[in-house]
Amino acid sequence: MRDFNKFWREQGTGFSDAVIEDFLAGISRTDMLYESVLGYLETQQHRSASLRNEYHGIYAWFVESVSQILVRHLTLNTTYISLRNGS
C-alpha cells in the first residue's frame, strides 16, 4: 500500500502518510472484517475535518478493491455455487 501511495503521489494524487498508516493499522487487525474497516474509515472521516477528503478517497478505493475481489471470487466459483444450489 505504501508503494501504491508513493506511485499515486508521483502522479499528483495519493494520501498523506497519516491516513495510509491509519488505514494499514485497520486492515492489519485480525479482529476486523472489511465491513469494520469501512466503518472505521467512515468514523475517521467525520472525526478529522482536515483529512476528511483523504479518508473519503481511501474509503472509495477500498470499496472498489473489495468489490473487485468479491466479484472475481464469485465468478471463479460459479460451478461450485451451481452444484451447491442443485443446478
27-84: per-residue pLDDT in tens? 999 998 999 999 999 999 999 999 999 999 999 999 999 999 988 888 877 776 676 6
CA distances from 10 to 7, 15, 23, 35 (A): 5, 11, 20, 30
Which pTM does this prediction carry?
0.81
Residue ranges per domain, the chain?
A: 2-84
**Higher per-residue pLDDT: 80 or 14:** 14
| Predicted local distance difference test score (pLDDT) of residue 75 | 80
pLDDT at 74: 80
pLDDT number for residue 81: 67
Hey, what's the cell of 32?
A: 476486523
Cβ neighbours of residue 87 closer than 8 Å, sequence gap 6 or more: none
